[in-house]
Structure 1
């Protein structure tokens, strides 16, 4: 095994995550202010209910554009906040968007129905059949309601990922329909040339971000680097490492702890993308992922042929040394969650402690590498085996292994249950929140 010695910069005074989060909040607040100003410039109209509906619709349009930004996978945001957190924010903003648009529809219809003394349903039918763009808005709202329903926790657990993802793609159809509705009947959109220019720029920036982050950048990077499988190495009966080479990999901005969405372009698997972390720090020549068999897709990795073309989206994730705040580090891994932790160990400086939690010694992936690397880096390695209960990483046990844990950055990666338990232990031990960095196993590979 070859390791690359790296000189690490000192911890930054301002945390990158805080800067990115504050930037997103500021962008949303500033645009909310601009939308409010344009709304009042357009006038409230004769109906209070319709005015409330119009304002709700404008805020809904703003939230929809913000939604697109959150899932655009722009590197600057992703590397500072992380795809898992951005996706979580996208989910909660989505529920806010749903209620905002429902309020828009209800108040607008009531505002028109009340003076005409007709029923809510009759007014809805009247608007949909006589006013340009309203029928498109009804279809868009219906799609958003369906997407919101399947995104609820109880439904999400019962749907296959592929089914959920396919339904979720209709969000883009809803966005286009909502935008054309706004262009057709939005009084604020056409009140002034400034308002019209603002909304065109807003939607152009939102859709352009998605186009850039989800299509242009991945395609450009793959055309540039021409990734191929260079070796397939079984690590155990159910674990395999895939080595990947390509052109100019020293220019690929990947860091230890990050992951890619990998597509291996074989006849039966080219359509399937799986998130796997790098299990070794990028050295400018080779990328390595290590995966455990968990289904047909990962089982097929063992049978990949050398030379197979690879399409990789990424790198993604904020689980990197960019966010460290202390010179010394504690790394905690569970199961195959060791893969990004192993890569981080290769890149870290200062004194490190690695705790690897597995059921049995046979479940310890890459253990020989870890021992060699820990010795080379002057780090402590603790392999903890046994059943999940009693908790061998409870506060008392962790404090015994790492007495100065509160003075270290802590990186945690593993199954959700283990990760949650370790995070609770760290809080009980008084480790400051800004020193704790967690990667959920579902994105860790």
Structure 2
């Protein structure tokens, strides 16, 4: 298997994550300034509450477009920031959007009620009945309130992912309704051709990004690469590796540490997509995923037949050597989280220490491969076994295994409790945050 070694990162190089994050902030700030300029040029209503409400509505529209960009899964952003962080930003931006929209409705309603001497409820009903687009805006707000409610942590814990995802799809309906309300009733659309052009361009870019990243690019890549199952290899009683082949895989921009959303096109599985990391560095000929049976989706992999067509979305994730800041690394894996770690070890350049945390020796998936690869690469490999308590990766133990850990990049993947414990240990050892790399592989709607 041939892989491309990742070159050492110059100490003065600007981190890709910083570039992307700064770019997103700059885009949002620049658009906020443009929105403010057009709003000022449109003039102010005599009622201060209406003025505040209009500004809240304009900023809400901007946040809604920004929301679409965050979940568009554009490769440039995803490789530099990662789907999990983009998902987290999307979530918090969503709560900001929710309160901004509520403020828009409240201030507008109370502002017009003050001028008309109607009570706020009657005023809102009157606006919905007499002003074009207002009723659509009320429906959009109702949808966003529902989506915001099911996105709260207490609700997410009680809902199946499929249920939450189905409800979340109504956000696109809310976007369309809000846009048509803005076109019909927004002051900037009726008073300035430049502002009208700006808003159409903004929404066109936002919606176009979603169509490109979520639909166009996956369709193009799957048509081009024609992915199929080449082999299914059991690794243990409950772990299986699936080898995928196809056309021109050397042109698929996948890297060790990334994952795909895999959809195996059989009668009983075509509708189900599951995220699995690559368990070997891409070599231009095959892709490999390794999964532990944790549900119907992963358990069914064992029964796939060679030749089965595959539809894959990705590659996704920033858990790659692109983000290295030091010439040497520590790779910490827990359980089946070893899959991206094993792939990363294959690609990484420079000395590495691998720490593999499992309950017992028989839980060490791909351990023989990892041991042979570590020997080939000149890396150190430590298999740490035992129950979760006491913590086998406490600060003192990590320092014993890797005395210079604060001078290395740390790549971490495993079950959430184990990851949280290791992150706490790294903080206690004063490992700089810029040297700690991990992803939680959460998905956005």
The verdict on a shared fold, with TM-score over 0.5 as the criterion, is: yes
**1:143-222 alignment, distance < 5 Å:** 143-222=143-222
SS at match of 2:229: strand
SS at match of 1:241: strand
The answer to whether the 8 Å contact 1:414/1:439 transfers is no
Residue matched to 2:328: 328
Residue matched to 2:17: 17
Residue matched to 2:133: 133
**1:266-285 alignment, distance < 5 Å:** 266-285=266-285
Output the CA distance in 1 between the equivalents of 2:161 and 2:243: 27
Output the CA distance in 1 between the equivalents of 2:257 and 2:345: 9
Residues 176, 5 of structure 1: alpha-carbon distance in 2 compared, 3 angstrom cutoff = closer
Residue matched to 1:297: 297
Residue matched to 2:44: 44
**1:419-438 alignment, distance < 5 Å:** 419-438=419-438
**1:10-89 alignment, distance < 5 Å:** 10-11=9-10, 13-89=13-89
The answer to whether the 8 Å contact 1:337/1:441 transfers is no
Q: Once the 2 structures are TM-superposed, how far is the Cα of residue 349 of structure 1 from its aligned partner? A: 1.1
Output the CA distance in 2 between the equivalents of 1:159 and 1:147: 12
Output the CA distance in 2 between the equivalents of 1:301 and 1:95: 37
Output the CA distance in 1 between the equivalents of 2:123 and 2:133: 15
Output the CA distance in 2 between the equivalents of 1:5 and 1:420: 31
Residues 340, 7 of structure 1: alpha-carbon distance in 2 compared, 3 angstrom cutoff = closer
Output the CA distance in 2 between the equivalents of 1:337 and 1:7: 21
SS at match of 2:439: strand
Residue matched to 1:367: 367
TM-score (norm 1): 0.98
**1:313-324 alignment, distance < 5 Å:** 313-324=313-324
Output the CA distance in 1 between the equivalents of 2:2 and 2:438: 24
The answer to whether the 8 Å contact 1:416/1:441 transfers is no
Provide, for residues 146-188 of structure 1, a one-character-per-residue CA deviation record: whole Å limited to 9, x for no partner: 0000000000100000000000000000000000000000012
Output the CA distance in 2 between the equivalents of 1:78 and 1:332: 23
The answer to whether the 8 Å contact 1:243/1:289 transfers is yes
**1:220-231 alignment, distance < 5 Å:** 220-231=220-231
Provide, for residues 217-262 of structure 1, a one-character-per-residue CA deviation record: whole Å limited to 9, x for no partner: 0000000000000000000000000000000000000000000000
Is 1:287 aligned with 2:301?
A: no
SS at match of 1:331: strand
The answer to whether the 8 Å contact 1:113/1:123 transfers is yes
Provide, for residues 390-418 of structure 1, a one-character-per-residue CA deviation record: whole Å limited to 9, x for no partner: 11111111000000000100000011111
Is 1:248 aligned with 2:248?
A: yes
Residue matched to 1:397: 397
Gaps of 5+ in 2: none
Output the CA distance in 1 between the equivalents of 2:160 and 2:400: 42
Q: Once the 2 structures are TM-superposed, how far is the Cα of residue 7 of structure 1 from its aligned partner? A: 5.5
The answer to whether the 8 Å contact 1:278/1:343 transfers is yes
Residue matched to 1:8: 7
Provide, for residues 339-384 of structure 1, a one-character-per-residue CA deviation record: whole Å limited to 9, x for no partner: 0000000001111000000001111000100000000000000000
Output the CA distance in 2 between the equivalents of 1:133 and 1:442: 36
Provide, for residues 126-148 of structure 1, a one-character-per-residue CA deviation record: whole Å limited to 9, x for no partner: 01111110000000000000000
Provide, for residues 249-305 of structure 1, a one-character-per-residue CA deviation record: whole Å limited to 9, x for no partner: 000000000000000000011011100000000000000000000111111100000
Provide, for residues 99-145 of structure 1, a one-character-per-residue CA deviation record: whole Å limited to 9, x for no partner: 00000000001111112111111011101111110000000000000
Runs of 4 or more, structure 1, over 2 Å off, are 2-7, 9-12
Q: Once the 2 structures are TM-superposed, how far is the Cα of residue 189 of structure 1 from its aligned partner? A: 2.2
The answer to whether the 8 Å contact 2:354/2:379 transfers is yes
Output the CA distance in 2 between the equivalents of 1:8 and 1:42: 53
Higher relative contact order (CA 8 A, sep 6+): 2
The answer to whether the 8 Å contact 1:413/1:441 transfers is no
Provide, for residues 83-106 of structure 1, a one-character-per-residue CA deviation record: whole Å limited to 9, x for no partner: 000000000000000000000000
Output the CA distance in 2 between the equivalents of 1:190 and 1:47: 19
Provide, for residues 46-92 of structure 1, a one-character-per-residue CA deviation record: whole Å limited to 9, x for no partner: 11000000000000000000000000000000000000000000000
How big is the alpha-carbon RMSD for the aligned residues of Structure 1 and Structure 2? 1.0
SS at match of 1:393: coil
Output the CA distance in 2 between the equivalents of 1:39 and 1:53: 12
SS at match of 1:440: coil
Output the CA distance in 2 between the equivalents of 1:245 and 1:373: 23
Gaps of 5+ in 1: none
Output the CA distance in 2 between the equivalents of 1:123 and 1:240: 62
SS at match of 1:411: strand
**Across the two proteins, how many residue pairs are aligned to each other?**
442
Q: Relative to structure 2, which stretch is displaced further, 311-320 or 416-425?
A: 416-425
